[in-house]
Amino acid sequence: MKMGVHTIIGAVVFLLGTLTACNTKHEAKGKQPNLIIILADDLGYADVGFNGCSDIPTPHIDKIAEGGVTFTNGYVSYCVCGPSRAGLITGRYQDRFGFSRNPLFAPNDAEMGLPLSEETLADVLGRAGYKSLAIGKWHLGAHELLHPLKRGFTDFYGFLSGGHRYFPEEITLEDPYEAKEQFDGYKTKLLRNYDREELNEYLTDALSKEAVAYIEKNKDNPFFIYLAYNAPHTPLQATKKYLDRFDHISNKKRKTYAAMVSAMDDGVGTILTKLDELDLSDNTIVVFLSDNGGPENHNASDNGLLRGQKGDLFEGGIHVPFAIKWPAKIPDGMVYDQPVISLDLFATAIAQTEKPVMLKNPLDGVNLIPFLTGEKKNQPHDYLFWRKFDAENYAVRNGSDKLFLEEKTNKAMLFNLDEDISEENDISAEKAQNVNKLKEDIDKWENEMKAPIFMGLMQDTEYNELYPDRFKRPEK
């Protein structure tokens, strides 16, 4: 059952300034807004109400779109979770620093994750006086040097691996050194900062409660919460409370997936309610998006009319549900059709700080606020790029044109996304000049990127052979 791609999405610009030089300064006026980024994991494009979903109600997530902007062309910088998260948290194409693969769970490897050359959004906001909390899935490195508290966050509650089990009774490993293989990371006890902690409830509920508690604790200070749910990523696990809401769905996999999305939606509701109770809603930027498209074959997600799924550079892999609200600055009920990308969140957020901040690295994202308020009339990005290094696949979007390039076979497909969001009609033959120009643009961009700096999930066996002590506990 495919849902139509929403057509009601239109006039909002993403948040942040084009800070593209290492020592760029900026100034902002007014009280610093709080920032909450809510990141779903493997959520289908058509699986939220604001994108037309009918069988999974998401009333609380929809409030973010209704109270602000819905992006009809909202993208992430990669089609699977690790690199996508690296791009979001740095505001830079992750290929610039070699984060081009999904990292392995390797607690002894300081190179397996976000390199220390990069600073995070938490680093920069910390210099502007923000407290910050990373909740849930990290997936930017399991080594102690890559821990969230070493990457700018003042607090952490979650797990370092690329996924996790949801039921307390299945979380059986005290720490990562009890692991024997890659996916044992899903069974490690959660971390509160550096300490292991028992989980006593359904994981999604615990993550939501942690966000609410942090808002209460920091209500008098500017805060940044990076709430990275692992829902609805596999394993497909939900409690009876949520499953009972979906007896109308006969497909068992889809029913469990729906229950997981509903649990996340409930959590979003508790966060929005707490902001209202504390009179913080007007000056809190709340963002909702998915880390990549839904893997329809694995978790019964639905990308609607979009071609492809997680792992693809077609729209189904990189075009995601995306909404932002900030009542103090952004009108409600807006729909914005120009392409924006998760890289913009960094730039948008730091553009709002009271004090000038210095940046270590140039950004690829832009401040979306002037576009959403109408101050800027042009589109935020002339080009957006994507690369799958090992597959030698590339994509570039320029206006309505999107080129998909398979370099191994020199296969190029061109689509007009304004007229063909499903990427069904390859117009490369009739627009050869456009194809050649976009290939040149990809080459120029590629020359600025780096090769991967670590092995990824696809090299798990090879990595184990090279590093047999992968999970060996370090000697003190």
Segment 278-302 shows an average pLDDT of 98
Render pLDDT for 429-443 as a digit per residue (tens, 0 to 9).
999 999 999 999 999
Residues above pLDDT 70, as percent of the chain: 94
pLDDT-derived band at 139, boundaries 50, 70, 90 = very high
pLDDT at 10: 36
Per 3-state DSSP, the chain is made up of helix, strand and coil in percentages (nearest 5) of: 30, 15, 55
Give the residue among 344, 43, 342 at the shortest CA–CA distance from 204. Answer: 43
Segment 215-228 shows an average pLDDT of 98
Select from 3.40.640.10, 1.10.3720.10, 3.40.720.10, 3.30.70.2740 the CATH code of 34-372.
3.40.720.10
User: Which residues are catalytically annotated?
Assistant: 81, 139
pLDDT at 223: 98
pLDDT at 23: 36
CA of 386: how far to CAs of 84, 104, 274, 394, in Å?
Answer: 10, 21, 37, 6
pLDDT-derived band at 355, boundaries 50, 70, 90 = confident
pLDDT at 143: 98
pLDDT-derived band at 15, boundaries 50, 70, 90 = very low
Q: What are the structure tokens assigned to 166, written together? A: 């949801």
Bridge-partner residues for 132, per DSSP?
224
Residue 98 has pLDDT above 60, yes or no: yes
Residue 171 has pLDDT above 70, yes or no: yes
Segment 133-153 shows an average pLDDT of 98
- For the chain, give the mean pLDDT: 94
Residue 13 has pLDDT above 60, yes or no: no
Q: What are the residue boundaries of the structural domains of the chain, listed by start? A: 34-372, 391-451
Q: What are the structure tokens assigned to 372, written together? A: 């959403």
DSSP structural state of residue 102: P
CA of 471: how far to CAs of 105, 179, 239, in Å?
Answer: 9, 6, 32
pLDDT at 475: 85
Q: Are 358 and 23 spatial neighbours (Cβ–Cβ below 8 Å)?
A: yes
pLDDT-derived band at 476, boundaries 50, 70, 90 = confident
pLDDT at 219: 97
- Residues 3-35 as b or e (16 or more Cβ within 10 Å = b): bebbeebbbbbbbbbbbeeeebebebeeebbbb
Residue 225 has pLDDT above 70, yes or no: yes
Residue 213 has pLDDT above 60, yes or no: yes
391-451 carries CATH number 3.30.1120 = yes
Residue 8 has pLDDT above 90, yes or no: no
Residues above pLDDT 90, as percent of the chain: 92
Residue 22 has pLDDT above 80, yes or no: no
Segment 175-185 shows an average pLDDT of 97
Give the integer Cα–Cα distance in Å for 252 and 53: 18
Render pLDDT for 358-415 as a digit per residue (tens, 0 to 9).
999 999 999 999 999 999 999 999 999 999 999 999 999 999 999 999 998 989 999 9
pTM across the whole model = 0.93
pLDDT at 19: 36
DSSP structural state of residue 244: G
Residue 24 has pLDDT above 50, yes or no: no
The continuous run of DSSP H or E covering 260 comes out as helix 252-277
Segment 70-78 shows an average pLDDT of 98
Render pLDDT for 443-469 as a digit per residue (tens, 0 to 9).
999 999 999 999 999 999 999 999 999
pLDDT at 287: 98
